[in-house]
Chain A
Amino acid sequence: MKERLLGIFTSLGQLEEAIPLIQQKGAKVRTVYSPIDCREILEKIGVRKTSPVRFATLLGGLAGLSLGVGFAIYTFLEWKFVTSGKPTPPAVPLVVVGFEMTILFGFLSTLLCMLFLCGLPRLRGSQGYDPRFSKDRFGLLLECDRAQREEIEISLEQAGAEEVRVLRTRRTSQ
């Protein structure tokens, strides 16, 4: 049987201190809640700082460039509209179209990918979330064996947790 515990801290420093303590005792960090973007936490819990959202940016940008330039060339060839004796399709104006479409599609693909990876929009709140996490408190949601629960609770309190909550029990296949 697994237990889920939520430790609520008043400062980021306390939370950072608590993470290695509870990891040593075999608990797994599930989620860290924070009112600010602190990259050091990611390192502590072994998550890479960089996000795969960058690949969506690259793909979106390339798609925008191809679509913008390709569409402009198609319309030039379709319409055969000669302006100022310039060749059809002209090269220079395509730079502007390609540039703007690269930006637009790159931006939108980044946005959509970011929302997808963040699980947004989220219609229902999660069990561990506390409204104070958007103000001035930090939350550490972790999972441990039932037998270890008391020991972990004590560790959290020793690290400076203001409050420790036991959340719903989750059954495992083992």
Chain B
Amino acid sequence: MKDWQASTPKSYSEVQEMILGALSPPGRSYWGAVILCLFGLLYGASCWAYQILTGMGVAGINHPVNWGIYLVNFVFWVGIAHSGTLISAILYLLRARWRTSIARAAEAMTVFAVMIAGLFPFIHLGRVWIFYWIIPYPNQRDLWPNFQSPLVFDFLAISTYLTVSSMFWYMGMLPDLAALRDQSTGLKRRIYGIFSLGWQGTHIQWRHYGTAYLLFAAFATPLVISVHSVVSWDFALSIVPGWHSTIFAPYFVAGAIHSGLAMVLTLLIPMRGLLGLQPLINVGTLESIAKTMVLTGLIVGYSYGVEYFMAWYSGNMFEWDTFIWRAFGHYAPQFWVMVVCNVAGPLLFLIKAIRTNLIWLFAVGIIVNIGMWYERFVIIVGSMSHEYVPHAWGVYSPSWVELSIMLGSFSMFLFLFLLFCKFVPPVSVFEMKEHLWTHGKA
């Protein structure tokens, strides 16, 4: 463990060589993993094609549960997308130095997760070829999207978030792509030359870039809060028991950050080992994530408690019955998995020996990811299956098509992340150099 500490880079060239060295031609195991993920992605895509050709009947969604795991996955992936911007933008504004080594990978995670999240409403839509009806455009019938609908809010928020997070990620890479261009030859040099837009690092460029990047972060920060608030209003603006709650926006935002941080741990721990980036993404950085997760876990736990308190204190029998059913009804196992994984799991990080141990960090990251997926399942499916009228109650199980498409989404995420690790600098080179400069090491 101590070997890599001695190899902590001490000069700009060492930083650059270490990070760009991670982009060296990968071995067979890497390509094996890429092909496996591609296969999973194609399998998921073919299942979606099957659903389009056959009809929505192949999915398990039906009355009373009309929102199944497609929407569970939508909320889950939007949540995963949150921490990238949180780490990159909010911690940038707060001048938290520990973000530097992990921000790039976290931003990449955000972009890929939003892309996948954006697919699920289309998958759920069924007749995907008429998706453009939600776009406001002049038409012969004088129909417009209803701007009072939370689904239109969603469309605006998610598309804005995808645009902003992609550009924020790309612009953050410009100086590093130029560095990559300058040390490459042949076709690689041409490709990186195009993507670096001819960046030269002049004082004029740095002047405008620095101000613009700060403003990007300032825009991304309220945006990240708004996006998951808007997603929560898909539920909270309805009158379904268990959904119609004013706590939903902050509750969803906290949950999103919680799941995103867990995914950062899940991805970064293997990545740093495989790419030899231990000196840059050190245990101290991972420990900072773990400490933040203790806070977000407590907020999530508090939200679970407050939901129960409000259901009881309001005296609304439907609300209270829904919450009792959540804990002891058909979906009780999922509910308790959610509570244990999301609240009790991160509390293990109160012990220093656990939050500084890579195996534990990775394990708790996975546990929280599972718990957060179940949280969305419990909220969405649990409420719809047990609404007001007893004879309309019913349970839901996802079909093989839904599960296959979900598998495809996870494969797509890992596929894109694997490509990211080997084709663009996984850690911000110029920010690590600035880190050295401000600490007087270079």
Contacts and interface: CB of A to CB of B under 8 A. Distances in A.
Contact of B207 (A42, A76, A99, A132): A42
A123 interface: yes
Nearest to A99: B226
A92 B110 CA distance: 29
Interface residues of B, number: 54
B136 A71 contact: yes
Contacts of B201: 33-35, 133-134
A38 B437 contact: yes
A57 B215 contact: yes
B442 A11 contact: yes
27 contacts: A12-B437, A33-B203, A34-B203, A36-B437, A38-B434, A51-B211, A72-B147, A86-B148, A93-B153, A97-B147, A104-B164, A107-B167, A107-B216, A114-B209, A118-B205, A118-B208, A120-B197, A121-B197, A121-B198, A122-B198, A131-B182, A132-B182, A133-B201, A134-B178, A134-B182, A134-B201, A136-B16
Contacts of A31: 202-204
Contact of B203 (A45, A106, A135, A136): A45
A76 B171 contact: no
A27 B208 CA distance: 25
Interface of A: 11-12, 31-39, 41-42, 45, 47, 49-51, 53-54, 57, 71-72, 75-76, 78-79, 81, 83, 86, 90, 93-94, 96-97, 99-101, 103-104, 106-108, 110-111, 113-115, 117-126, 129, 131-136
Contact of A100 (B12, B226, B442): B226
A14 to B, nearest CB: 12
Interface in B141-177: 142-148, 153, 156-157, 160, 163-164, 167, 171, 175
Q: Which of A31, A42, A107, A125 has the most CB of B within 10 A?
A: A107
B212 interface: yes
B348 interface: no
B interface: dominant SS: helix
Interface of B: 11-13, 16, 136, 142-148, 153, 156-157, 160, 163-164, 167, 171, 175, 178-179, 181-183, 197-212, 215-216, 219, 222-223, 226, 230, 430, 433-434, 437, 442
Nearest to B200: A129
Contact of B142 (A49, A78, A126): A78
B147 A76 contact: yes
B203 A32 contact: yes
Nearest to A94: B147
A95 to B, nearest CB: 10
